[in-house]
């Protein structure tokens, strides 16, 4: 769990809490969270769950320091949705799952190529 303490410290500071405040929120002794940050002590499975829930992060990111693939993909999709919303599309047709299931392999292939072509056209306008 190399770097675990630093990840905890970064999460705590980002949330704006002291070690004592986090220990209190989690129901630990005053210095327990500080020992986790200094890697003098390792949290139990139950404690890991509590910490992950408190900071609203996956346990995997606490242990490994990596975002899970599903979370990376979620953030990318969320960025696309924000772009659509900024362009005035509050409930884009692109999100209608039933419409996507009606498309066959050829239609999806054509759609992918059309999207790529549109991106290339937009890039040419920027130049």
pLDDT average, residue stretch 40-64: 92
pLDDT average, residue stretch 21-40: 92
Lowest mean pLDDT among 12-21, 69-78, 82-91, 107-116: 69-78
Helices (H), ranges, 38-104: 45-55, 59-64, 69-86, 97-101
- Position 85 scores a pLDDT of 86
CATH classification code of 4-64: 1.10.260.40
Looking up tokens 């999806």 gives 108
Distance CA 27, CA 66 (A): 27
User: Contacts by 114-117 with C-beta closer than 8 Å and gap 24+?
Assistant: none
pLDDT band for position 1 (50/70/90)? low
pTM over 0.75: no
pLDDT of 112 over the 80 cut = yes
């Amino acid at each position: 769990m190399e770097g675990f303490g630093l990840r905890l410290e970064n999460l705590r500071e980002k949330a704006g809490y002291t070690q004592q405040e986090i220990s209190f929120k989690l129901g630990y002794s005053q210095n327990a969270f500080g020992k986790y940050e200094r890697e003098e002590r390792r949290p139990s499975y139950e404690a890991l769950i509590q910490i992950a829930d408190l900071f609203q992060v996956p346990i995997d990111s606490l242990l490994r320091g990596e975002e899970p693939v599903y979370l990376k993909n979620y953030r990318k999709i969320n960025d696309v949705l924000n772009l659509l919303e900024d362009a005035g599309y509050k409930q884009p047709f692109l999100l209608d799952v039933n419409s996507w299931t009606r498309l066959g392999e050829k239609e999806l292939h054509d759609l992918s190529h059309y999207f790529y072509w549109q991106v290339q056209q937009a890039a040419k306008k920027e130049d």
